[in-house]
Amino acid sequence: MQIIFKFDTPFGPFCDALYLDEDHTFTEAEIEAMKQERLSNWIAILEMPPTEEVASVEATEEVVQTEAI
C-alpha cells in the first residue's frame, strides 16, 4: 500500500510516500507520526549550514565554468 502525502513549507512543497504492507497494523496516529518525522528530517537537512567541503566544490565549479568561457 502506498500513502502519498504533501506538506507546504517555507522551503516549498514537500512530497513523499510511505510504503506499507496491505495488512499493516499502524494506527492513523502512528502513520501521521511517520509523515511528520520525514518532514522534520527534510527540513533539518535544508536548515543545516553548508560544510567546508560544499563551499570548496562550489568554488571549483565556478573555476571550471570560467575556464569554459
Domain that holds residue 9: 2-68
Question: Mind listing the pLDDT tens digit for each residue in 55-67?
Answer: 666 666 666 566 6
* HEC per residue, 3-66: EEEEEEECCEEEEEEEECCCCCCCCHHHHHHHHHHHHHHHHHHHHCCCCHHHHHHHHHHHHHHH
Please tell me the predicted confidence (pLDDT) of residue 56: 66
Number of domains in the chain: 1
Question: Mind listing the pLDDT tens digit for each residue in 38-49?
Answer: 999 999 999 998
All three cell numbers of 57: 566544490
Give the amino acid at 47: E
